[in-house]
Structure 1
């Protein structure tokens, strides 16, 4: 049964849902890394977001700047690119391999490894039953829809097993080794679930400096408006129509929205529409006129003008540059 938008429950305990419902992993890179100490891998793939879930053993994540993080079984770390970092059994261990953009792997001196560490379906390292097993999921492309989320995260965050208690590990271990039709889609969705569970736990952790949009999504008035816009940005919204949906006056909505989100509702909607347009330009081949209709613009010309003001390039130039945006 479809629930009307206006009657959807607004749960203060899960304000990430509205933001994370739009962007989804597509063609994510998932692998089971298996090592015996000493081991170290330097990651220079410039990926926007990488989740590392330790199944067995011990690992350290050492960023270029900032504090290093130790992982025990069940612990998880999320690295926000494009800054490089090192995964190792010990911070002092010298890297034995480099991970480069596009999933390429090389020796520290630049020589290609040529698959010498492949261990079968989505498995890589020394041996399949190594002392350390690390599940790694990498989002290869930064879509503009999730820019607010990525910018709110530190370069490296971590959660202990006790802090996030996610039951996905056994399922990921099982699915990551399968090679069946549609398996990439299954793994993409599992990575989505992993990230939502982890980020929700991290933002809810005491002492975390949650961003404005997180708190705003939990507000009974502004949160409802944000969800309405997120669910249907193409609708011809006005401040008056949004205020009517939220049950407040136009002035009250404008004031409360700007106070909590940091910008007026129509400005936020414009940026959302253009972000959705940018996502479609990168990920598909729809015409500009079709994209304009999908995101709430009356014509390709009006979308093109607004897009160039926001991004500094035309939609076509942006689309032409799309392959280069992967991992940035």
Structure 2
């Protein structure tokens, strides 16, 4: 599986949700901090997104905004947050001149991946001719489905919301190709190593083998991989194995021996020791605990 798909699958903890709303000025809606990511699409009219400690972001028709860390923010008809009320309290106005689609993804940030962590607190993707055609197509389909009553609507909307998250992240990466993780995904050798580690996390990888696989020396691979991802290859592999194991423990009922084998450990004892060192508790405790712990 490719890295971005792997990351989203591992972090997701539930189904996404969305709401389409039509209003007239004045309007001002508050979004409290959320364990996940939020998004907004301005389908008609203009508005502003206000985030603490940041300059107001002007929004025009067709603009898309992703709030990847689920931080608090406000949507308003003016660049001021005074008088904001929760979106749940909003009353739709059928003839309103402003229309937007808001939604959220349930993501566990304790299993957060630096790929999504590299995104800014607010990702603004302005509309424009020829910009991000796949994202625009998904927006159009989603806007039509959320107000329709056609059979299969729930399944279609859920799938389109998943597509939307990928397209929003991909659009930002394409606009910032020289940044750390976007650059890592564009670097042929580093990307090939990442794909190998994500495709076969249980394989007994060694740095020598990975370097030979992509035609680099051990030192060159270690230096380039670390510069672009923030971790040496084998450190990243251990971290990804533990993150994947946490996902398996939380979402499945496989015996510990199976989970251990799926993330590259030959014995439950060795796996439990590594897992406790990483998360501060045993796999059994982690699975039983309803609230995710913070990694050490």
* Cα distance, 1:181–1:319 mapped onto 2, change above 3 Å: farther
Residues 58, 73 of structure 1: 8 Å contact kept: yes
Aligned residue number for residue 85 of structure 2: 97
Query: Can you list the C-alpha shifts for 1:25-53, whole angstroms capped at 9, x where unaligned?
Result: 54111111222211111111413211111
Deviation at 1:63, TM superposition (A): 0.9
**Alignment partner of 1:239 is 2:224:** no
- Mapped pair 1:67 → 2:55: yes
Quick one: structure 1 residues 231 and 129, their matched pair in 2 at CA, closer, same or farther if it must change by over 3 Å? Answer: farther
Q: CA deviation at 1:276?
A: 0.9
In 2, Cα distance between the equivalents of 1:237 and 1:209?
28
Asked if 1:173 is matched to 2:161, the reply is: no
Listed one character per residue, the Cα deviations across residues 56-106 of structure 1 (whole Å, up to 9, x for unaligned) are 11221111221111111110111133431111122336445325xxxxx4x
Give, in whole Å, the separation in 2 of the partners of 1:324 and 1:173: 34
* Structure-1 residue corresponding to 2:122: 156
Distance 1:312 1:172 in 2: 42
- Helix, strand or coil: the match of 1:87? strand
Residues matched between the structures, number: 286
Look up the SS of the partner of 1:167 in the other structure.
helix
Q: 1:288 is matched with which residue? A: 256
Report matched runs for 1:264-283 at 5 Å: 264-283=232-251
Does residue 41 of structure 1 match 2:29? yes
Q: Give the structure with the larger helix fraction.
A: 2
Tell me the SS of whatever aligns to 2:182. Answer: helix
CA distance in structure 2 between the partners assigned to 1:291 and 1:201 by the alignment? 34
- In 2, Cα distance between equivalents of 1:80 and 1:65: 16
Distance 1:322 1:209 in 2: 38
Q: TM-score w.r.t. structure 2 length?
A: 0.84
Query: In the alignment, which residue of structure 1 is the partner of 2:187?
Result: 219
Partner of 1:10: none
Tell me how far apart the structure 2 counterparts of residues 178 and 319 of structure 1 sit (CA, whole Å).
Answer: 39
Q: Which residue of 1 aligns with 2:106?
A: 140
After the TM superposition, which residues 243-258 of structure 1 pair with which residues of structure 2 at under 5 Å, given as runs?
A: 243-258=211-226
Q: CA deviation at 1:322?
A: 3.9
User: Greater shift after overlay, 267-276 or 284-293?
Assistant: 284-293
Unaligned runs of 5+ in 1: 6-16, 100-104, 106-112, 118-124
What TM-score do you get using the length of structure 1 for normalisation?
Answer: 0.76
Q: Is the 8 A contact 1:143 1:279 kept in 2?
A: no
Aligned equivalents of 1:175, 1:95: Cα separation in 2: 31
Preserved CA contact (<8 Å) 2:180 2:229: yes
- Alpha-carbon distance, 1:184 to partner: 4.4
Against the structure 1 CA distance between its residues 184 and 312, is the aligned structure 2 distance closer, same or farther, given a 3 Å change threshold?
farther
Tell me, yes or no, if structure 1 residue 50 matches structure 2 residue 38.
yes
Q: Give the C-alpha shift of residue 211 in structure 1.
A: 4.1
